[in-house]
Structure formats: structure tokens, C-alpha cells
Amino acid sequence: MPSPRVSRELAEMIDQLERQLSLLEEYATKAFSETRSEFLPEVASKLRILLVRSKQNSPLLFEVPDRVGLVPRIRIDTFQLEHLGQKSSRKVVAKSADPARAKT
């Protein structure tokens, strides 16, 4: 049985994950749907918190599922590239992301 401290830490991490995902959605809508470029750094910041492992950061999107015994599956449907005024859509599908391989 996990200690109360471990459970509290996990509960806090889950709350942070929900908050960061909510903020990412809000900032991405403003940055991309409303074309407000001042929100692009906020999108980048939230993505770093959620996905990047470093000495100072443990990525919430991988850490929370790992702590509860789940393997996250990530799928990216589409993205757009814009270069010199030309737009291009490409379909990208990632079958799964293994958090063990993400540790570098």
C-alpha cells in the first residue's frame, strides 16, 4: 500500500497534468485558431513541461501514466507546415511512445 505522501504526490501530479493540458489547449487555440503569435511561447513551454525529460524536468505526460502502471499511446493525426506563404498538410501517425525509450 502506498504511503500517504506518495499518494498525495501522485494526486498533485495528476492535478498538474490536467492543468497543463487545459492550458495547452487554451494557448494552442489562441496561437493557431486565432493566429495570435504571442501565445506561441506559451504553447512551447507547456509542451516542454508535458514531454521533455531533462535534469530539471520529469515529463508529466509520461511520468503520471508510469506511476499508475499505464503505457501512454500517442497519435498525431495531422500538422501543417507553412513555408514562404505555401501551406502543406501531412499525415503523421505514431503507433506508440515507449517512455523507457524516451529517457535520454
**pLDDT tens-digit map of 11-66:** 999 999 999 999 999 999 999 999 999 999 999 999 999 999 988 888 998 889 88
Number of domains making up the chain: 1
Assign 100 to helix, strand or coil: helix
Q: Which pLDDT does position 43 carry in this prediction? A: 96
**pLDDT greater than 80 at residue 4:** no
Q: Which pLDDT does position 77 carry in this prediction? A: 67
pLDDT band per the 50, 70, 90 thresholds, residue 97: very low
Q: Which pLDDT does position 45 carry in this prediction? A: 95
In this structure, what is the dihedral angle of CA atoms 87, 89, 90, 93, given to the nearest 10 degrees? 140
pLDDT band per the 50, 70, 90 thresholds, residue 82: low
Of 92 and 14, which is predicted with more confidence? 14
> Domain range spanning residue 92?
4-102
Tell me how far apart the alpha carbons of residues 46 and 30 are, in angstroms, rounded to a whole number.
Answer: 14
Tell me how far apart the alpha carbons of residues 27 and 30 are, in angstroms, rounded to a whole number.
Answer: 5
Expressed in angstroms, the distance from the first to the final Cα of the chain is 31
